[in-house]
Structure 1
Amino acid sequence: MSTLAAILLAGGRATRVDGAAKPLFDVGGRTLLRHSVEAAAAVGATPITIVGPQPDAAMHPEVAIAAASIPAQVTWVREDPPFGGPAAGIAAALASWDADPEWTLVLACDLPGAGAAAARLIRDMVLLPTDTEGLCLADATSRPQWLTGVYRTAPLRRGAAALPARGHGASMRELLDDLAIATVVAPPAETADVDTWEDLTEARRRFTQEDSP
């Protein structure tokens, strides 16, 4: 087992975008799902476990191509019942692993800046005191972004095991309540997710500007 694995959360209801599959939104020529998978692979995470409905390869061949191009084990799981929330998704992913890595990278699959976010987390986690059990990014207001973080797997698993009903309906705060977690403020390009159609438009505009000479 590697020292780092990843859980990518791709199973929300996406009510603010009319139930559309946010992980399949194209930003900068790649789906948001691919941004997250490639971000996890770039920092050496294996396995990479995606929590959510697996897209039909015939309808979305780019998903299969992206997974096949990643030099790591990519697996899919689904919390039971579905739509149990991110804590339930993390619990389901942990339950699917045969062995535990030291660290678990957690990323939501609606983060266009997943690559830079993951790189910052892995770069900064080596600076943590030994008794710290996790690190997550915070936005400009210092609000923790729990779904953009890296956590020690053993206490994360203990937190998941303590949740009733396999974490269904539990909040991330409940899952992480007993963990000693540090935060680091990161720029909007690393913390801004896609919750609304306006967010998607802004993310595409930002990537277009970055690609401009």
Structure 2
Amino acid sequence: MRTAGIVLAGGAARRLSGVDKPMLELDGVPLLRRVITALAGAGPIVVVGPERPGMPDVRWAQESPPGGGPVAALAAGLALMPGDTGIVVVLAGDLVAVRKSTVDKLVGALGAADGAVLTDDEGRFQWLIGAWRPGRLREVLPASPEGKALRAVLGGLSIVPVPGAPGESADVDTPRDLDRLTRSSQPSYRTLS
């Protein structure tokens, strides 16, 4: 059964003054590259958002309208999935600690459910770290997906919660996130130009 990947890498990063979050580097590696690496063995991998340099072996898509939110981005990514895709792993493009082991854990937990979603240290679903049956995703996507919340659209599906390791769901949303990650692991952050 084919496993594919969709990486949601659009968004305006308003809380980070519009910086291109997926291209922030952690220990010299852009976050987007880390996420793509976690999808090793999946194919195709569709990155939804502006095309960026240095990301070979991915297909690019753009949500409509650009900046239309995660459900619109998911719809754009699904539009490029081959018909024989049995599982699609959906990941945010600004994840810090996602690994291939995270993806394997999600895919392994899926079973007969519609989706498997990583939960954080407090047991909350991390909607942008999951493995899904693409047919079921297509069934619940609204005709006008822009501005819709993933939780509202996907929450009615049968979902297996997958406990994450401490920090496994970490992402970068605010300057405080950057400061916390910098202090905790001494990474080097910079934005690629």
**Superposition TM-score, scaled by structure 1 size:** 0.81
> Given the superposition, is the C-alpha separation of residues 128 and 33 from structure 1 closer, same or farther in structure 2, using an over 3 Å criterion?
closer
Identity %: 38
- SS in structure 1 of the partner of residue 39 of structure 2: helix
User: Residue 208 of structure 1 aligns with which residue?
Assistant: 186
- SS in structure 2 of the partner of residue 16 of structure 1: helix
User: Residue 48 of structure 1 aligns with which residue?
Assistant: 45
What do the CA deviations read for 1:100-155 (whole angstroms, capped 9, x no partner)? Answer: 4100001101111121xx4234235434442x111111111111001011111110
Preserved CA contact (<8 Å) 2:118 2:125:
yes
- Aligned partners of 2:30, 2:183: CA distance in 1, in Å? 15
- Aligned partners of 1:188, 1:28: CA distance in 2, in Å? 20
Q: Is 1:134–2:115 an aligned residue pair? A: yes
- SS in structure 1 of the partner of residue 186 of structure 2: helix
- Aligned partners of 2:171, 2:157: CA distance in 1, in Å? 24
Matched AA of 2:101: A
Matched AA of 2:164: A
Preserved CA contact (<8 Å) 1:27 1:203:
no
User: Residue 164 of structure 1 aligns with which residue?
Assistant: 143
Preserved CA contact (<8 Å) 2:109 2:116:
no
What do the CA deviations read for 1:60-108 (whole angstroms, capped 9, x no partner)? Answer: xxxx2xx33xxxx411100111111111101011112342410000110
- Aligned partners of 1:96, 1:128: CA distance in 2, in Å? 22
- Aligned partners of 2:10, 2:167: CA distance in 1, in Å? 23
Pairwise CA RMSD: 1.8
- Aligned partners of 1:208, 1:5: CA distance in 2, in Å? 32
Higher mean displacement: 95-104 or 150-159 = 95-104
1:176 Cα deviation after fit: 0.8
User: Residue 114 of structure 1 aligns with which residue?
Assistant: 98
User: Residue 80 of structure 2 aligns with which residue?
Assistant: 96
1:181 aligns with one of 153, 159, 164 = 159
> Given the superposition, is the C-alpha separation of residues 75 and 200 from structure 1 closer, same or farther in structure 2, using an over 3 Å criterion?
same
User: Residue 60 of structure 1 aligns with which residue?
Assistant: none
- SS in structure 1 of the partner of residue 5 of structure 2: strand
The structure richer in helix per residue is: 1
Gapped regions of structure 1 (runs ≥ 5):
58-63
